[in-house]
A and B are shown apart, each in its own frame.
Chain A
Amino acid sequence: MAVLSRSSSTAAGGPPSPPDSAPVGPTRTNGVTIAGIALRTPYWVFTGAVGLIFLAPLLWTAVASVAPQAGTSQTDGWGIGNYETLANYQAGIWCYLANSAFVSLTTVALTLLISFLGGYAFARFRFPGRNILFLVTLAILMVPYATLLIPLYVLLNKVGLQNSLVGVALVLTMFQLPFSTFLMRISFEAVPRELDEAAMVDGCSSFSALWRVLLPAVKPGLITVGLFAFLAAWNDFMAPLILINDTERMTLPLAVSNLRGQVQGVVDYGATEAGVVVLALPCIVLFLLLQRHYVRGFMSGALKG
C-alpha cells in the first residue's frame, strides 16, 4: 500500500507542468541584458501571435456562447439562454450527457482491464500464437474505421447490440486496443523482471504479483491509456452515428451536431456554441491536468515507427 500511494504521488503531483503562471521569458539565461531583451521581443510577439491563433477559436466560442447574439436564445444582454436551449433540446442534455458518460466510462474500464491483462501476457509470457495475436491487434490500426463499421452494424444487429450504447462501447474499446495494448506491453517491459520474480519467490501467485507489485509500477501507462480511451470515446462521432438510431440513445456529439438541422434547416448557432463548450470542457480540463501523460501517449506513437 505504501508503494501504491508513493507512486501515485509521483504520477499525479510530479513537476508542475500545467502552465499556471503568467508568461515570463526564458529564465535560464544568466545575464539578461537590455540588448538581449530587445533582440528577443520580435520573437515573443511572433510566437505569442501564433499561440493566440490556436487559442482564439476556443476563447471566442466560450465568450460567444454567453454573449448577446441575434437569432439565438440569447438576444438581449449576457446570459445562459443558449445553454437553456441546449438543455431542453430533444431528449434533454442530461440524457445525452448520461449516454456519453456511460459510453466513455465503459470504454475506459474495458480498455484498462483488457490492455492491463494483455500487456502483462505479451510482456511476461511465451505462449503459442503470442506474436500473431499481437500483430493482429496492431493491424486494427491499418483498417479504416468505415470498413469495419459496416460489418459491425450487421453483426451487432444479429446479437441485439445495434442501437445500443453497450454495442458502441464494445466497438470503441476494440478500436483502442492497438494503442493501449502496445503501450501497456512496453510499460510492463520497462519494469525489471526481478521485481515480480522476487514477489513470486516470496509465494505470490502470478495474479497477486500482477495486482500488488506490477500495478503500481505500470500506473503511469494506465493513466495514459485511460486518458486516451476517454478522449476517443467521449468525442467519437462515427460509431454512434452509424450504430444508434433512437434520439434518446444518442451521445452528446451527435445531439449537438443535430442542432444544426433543427427546424427546416434553420441553425441555432448559439446553442451549437454552448454544445461545443460542453463537449470541449472535460477534454480541456483533462488535458491541463494530465498534460505529461497526454504528450507521452503521442510520443509512444512516435517511437513505434
Chain B
Amino acid sequence: MSVTAPSRPPSPAVRGRARPPGRQALLGWLYATPTAVFVVLLFAVPLLLVVKMSVSRWPLLTGDQGINAPDNFVKAINHRFFTDSVVFTVKYTVLATVLLLALGLGLALLVQESSRWNNLLRASFLIPSALGLASASLLFYVLYSPYASPLAPVMDHLGVTFLGSPNAALFSTTFLIVWRYAGFYMVLMLVGLQGIPADVYEAARSDGASRWQTFRKITLPLLRPTLALTTVLCVTGSLLAFEQFYILTKGGPDNSTITVVQLIYMVAFQGQNDLGVAAAISVIVLLALILINALQLRAFRSEES
C-alpha cells in the first residue's frame, strides 16, 4: 500500500493533512468503526428501547405486550415507594455532596505542598478509591455489624447501632461514601488549586490579606470551574446511588433507605417483575438528571458573570 504523499510539508491552511479528503474519510471511518458499532448497538439502541419499553406493557417473563401509554408512568409515580425514594435520594445527595466537596477541598489544602510526607498522605487518602464500591460496602457491612465489628463494645455501651435507625443508616452509609471518594475529589481539587497563579497569592500577601480572606476572596472564586465540575460529578453519582444501599442497608430499616435506582431494580427484578414500569422510572430519572445538570451548569455560569 503505497502512499502518495507530497514530499513537502503541506500548507497549514488544510491543517497539515497529507492524504486526499476521500481517502482520509474512508480511513477515519475504518478506525472509528469499532467505536461506532459499540456505541450504536450497546448504547443508542438500548436508549431507544428503554423509551419504547416505558410506553409498553412489558412483564419480565413474557416480554413486549404492546403499547399501553401512559400506564407505566402513572404506575411509576403512584408506586408506594416512589415519593419516599425520591425524597431519600435527594436528601442523601445533598448530604454526600456537601461533605465530599468540603472534605475534598480540605484534604487538598492540607497536602497541597509537595513533600514526601504529603505524597504519603495523598496516597493513603487515595487508596480507598481503588477499591470497588461493592467491596468497600462489604467491608463496612462487617465493620458496622453488631457482631463482628471492632466497635461492637462501643455500640453496646452507647446502645446504638450503625444501621439500626433510618438516620443512623443514612449517616453510616454516607461515611462509607466519604471514605471511598474523598481522595478522588481531593485530586480534582488539587488540579484546580494548581491552576491558580502564584502571583495572585503574592499580591494578596503584600496587601496584608489574612489567610481566611485569601481563601474567601481568591481561592474560592478562582476555583469555581473546579467546584462546578465536582458538584456536577458528585450530584450525578449520588442521585444514582445503588450498591452502597443495596449491600449495607438493603433499603432498610423499614424501607427508609430506598434510592431511586434501587426502586428501578426492585420493580424490574424483585417480585413485581415489571420491566415497563422500571423503564418508565428510568426515563424519569434520565430526564431529571439532564434537567438538574443543565440547571447546575447554568447556575455556575450566571454566577460567573
Q: Does A37 make an interface contact (CB < 8 A)?
A: no
Given contacts A253-B135, A305-B226, contact A114 B53 (CB under 8 A): no
Report the Cα distance A5→B264, complex, angstroms: 50
Q: Which of A120-155 contact B (CB under 8 A)?
A: 120-122, 124-130, 133, 136-137, 139-140, 142-148, 150-155
Q: Does B36 make an interface contact (CB < 8 A)?
A: yes
Q: Does B170 make an interface contact (CB < 8 A)?
A: no
A-B contact count (CB 8 A): 313
Q: Does B158 make an interface contact (CB < 8 A)?
A: no
Shortest CB distance B226–A (Å): 7
Q: Enumerate the 9 nearest inter-chain pairs by beta-carbon distance, A residue then B residue, closest first.
A: A235-B132, A125-B28, A305-B229, A127-B28, A269-B148, A121-B31, A118-B35, A26-B115, A237-B134
Q: Is the beta-carbon distance between A47 and B191 smaller than 8 angstroms? A: no
Q: Is the beta-carbon distance between B139 and A200 smaller than 8 angstroms? A: no
Residues of B within 8 A of A97 (CB): none
Given contacts A146-B242, A151-B53, contact A276 B139 (CB under 8 A): yes
Given contacts A201-B7, A273-B142, A284-B130, contact A152 B225 (CB under 8 A): no
Return the chain A residue nearest B229 by Cβ: A305
Residues of A within 8 A of B283 (CB): 147
Q: Mark B173-194, 1 if CB is under 8 A from A, else 0.
A: 0000001001110011001100
14 contacting pairs across A/B (C-beta < 8 A):
A50-B121, A69-B148, A118-B31, A126-B25, A136-B43, A148-B46, A153-B268, A173-B42, A197-B18, A235-B133, A235-B134, A235-B135, A236-B134, A283-B130
Residues of A within 8 A of B39 (CB): 133, 136-137, 140, 174, 177
Supply 13 further A-B pairs (C-beta < 8 A) apart from A121-B27, A237-B133. A19-B119, A21-B116, A127-B25, A128-B25, A143-B47, A147-B282, A150-B278, A154-B53, A234-B132, A241-B265, A291-B123, A295-B126, A302-B188
Residues of A within 8 A of B265 (CB): 146, 241-242
Query: Chain A contact residues (Cβ within 8 angstroms of B): what range?
Result: 35 or more
Query: Chain B contact residues (Cβ within 8 angstroms of A): what range?
Result: 35 or more
Q: Mark B218-230, 1 if CB is under 8 A from A, else 0.
A: 0000000110110
Report the Cα distance A27→B119, complex, angstroms: 12
Residues of A within 8 A of B258 (CB): none
Report the Cα distance A147→B285, complex, angstroms: 8
Q: Is the beta-carbon distance between B123 and A19 smaller than 8 angstroms? A: yes
Shortest CB distance B300–A (Å): 10
Report the Cα distance A49→B276, complex, angstroms: 50
The contact of B34 among A113, A146, A273, by CB within 8 Å, is: A113
